[in-house]
């Protein structure tokens, strides 16, 4: 996964997919935009993310308010590579929509399939680098995204912050065979620039 997810080191699992966790000394890029996703009031009330500049707080009328959160990926029933790829793209777009699109200046999206090697299985990844209005605090936005994801059912695997960056790694499921791995980052190393990154890796693709 290190080929795709910058700053991530191998975790407890053996696969090259979501069984990885970031190093506390890693650098993060940036990412996060779009439509609003209604947070769970019981889990996000009073959190930094709820009031963070650049984070959308108005519910999207097109997003259902009951049932599983659209921010939580669902492993396809057919367990196919195409199904996993489609779910990865769809979830990355919904996560991006947590960020207030009015603060987004540019969204650079890169996706790729990392082929299997002797030590890891193939997986599909999407990296979104989002440049925000310079007046927007990227760390506050990144933390707001993390708060929304935790409320949706993602679990935080690791988190770190330095003077230059913010980095949080999350896992969508406790079953590594069906879990997506996400790194939410904020880059504050360049004065006057506000950048958030979302780096999403799928579960292992079937051979």
State the pTM of this model. 0.70
Q: In this model, does residue 28 exceed pLDDT 60? A: no
Residue 1 falls within a domain, yes or no?
A: no
Question: 115-152 burial, b for 16+ CB within 10 Å, e for fewer?
Answer: eeeeebbbbbbbbbbbbbeeebbbbbbbbbbbbbbbbb
Residue 64 falls within a domain, yes or no?
A: yes
| Counted domains in the chain | 1
Range of the domain at 141: 8-201
Task: Please write the tens of the pLDDT for every residue from 120-168.
Answer: 999 999 999 999 999 999 999 999 999 999 999 999 999 999 888 899 9
Say if CB 26 and CB 2 are below 8 A apart. Answer: no
Residue 54 falls within a domain, yes or no?
A: yes
- The neighbour count for residue 189, using CB atoms within 10 Å, is 12
Residue 28 falls within a domain, yes or no?
A: yes
Handedness of CA 90, 95, 98, 101 (dihedral sign): negative
């Amino acid at each position: 996964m290190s080929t795709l997810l910058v700053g991530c080191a191998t975790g407890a699992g053996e696969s090259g997919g979501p069984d990885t966790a970031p190093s506390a000394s890693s650098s993060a890029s940036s990412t996060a935009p779009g439509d609003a996703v209604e947070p769970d009031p019981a889990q996000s009330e009073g959190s930094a993310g709820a009031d963070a500049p650049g984070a959308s707080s108005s519910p999207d009328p097109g997003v259902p308010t009951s049932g599983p959160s659209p921010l939580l990926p669902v492993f396809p029933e057919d367990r196919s590579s195409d199904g996993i790829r489609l779910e990865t793209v769809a979830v990355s777009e919904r996560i991006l929509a947590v960020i207030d699109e009015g603060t987004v200046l540019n969204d650079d999206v890169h996706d790729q399939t990392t082929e299997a090697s002797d030590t890891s299985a193939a997986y599909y990844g999407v990296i979104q680098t989002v440049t925000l209005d310079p007046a927007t605090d990227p760390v506050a936005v990144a933390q707001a995204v993390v708060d929304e994801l935790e409320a949706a059912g993602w679990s935080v695997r690791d988190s770190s912050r330095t003077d230059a960056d913010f980095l949080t790694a999350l896992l969508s499921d406790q079953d590594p065979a069906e879990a997506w791995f996400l790194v939410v980052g904020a880059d504050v190393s360049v004065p006057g620039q506000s950048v958030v990154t979302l780096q999403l890796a799928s579960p292992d693709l079937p051979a």
